[in-house]
Amino acid sequence: MRNAELAERLARVERIAGLMDARFQMFGIRFGWDAVAGLVPVLGDAASALPSLYIMHEAWRLGARRRVLARMGLNIGLDTVLGSVPVVGDVFDVMFKANRRNAALLRRELARTSKKKEDLSWPSAIPD
């Protein structure tokens, strides 16, 4: 995959994560559409899980390891289940920011695989 395409896909994931978790600010607290949708009982949390699952799907398409995908799934599960609890869940949605966590996990995973590919490139394997 070309570096430009990879950067574009990562930027899309980060844009979605920003919209879902940090689009608005009130009293110095950032929150996004995830927290707003969470105000609608059950349906709001279910609907806000869809962009989260897209981020995870994109990570899978980009070749993220199973452990990274499992961590992303845990973040989404926590956000969906705990976020659906009345009142406490709304506060949890504002504070946890699962999408931004998952975007950071993907960013670190892509940096790790990029570094690994650089280390294995053949000109650097030849001693000076």
Q: Express each pLDDT in 10-28 by its tens digit.
A: 999 999 999 999 999 999 9
| Helix, coil or strand: residue 124 | helix
Span 42-52, mean pLDDT?
90
User: Structure pTM?
Assistant: 0.83
Q: Express each pLDDT in 63-110 by its tens digit.
A: 999 999 999 999 999 999 998 888 898 899 899 999 999 999 999 999
Beta carbons within 8 Å of 51's beta carbon, 6+ residues apart: 16, 19, 20, 34, 99
| pLDDT value, residue 38 | 87
**pLDDT at 127 exceeding the cut of 60:** no
**pLDDT at 29 exceeding the cut of 80:** yes
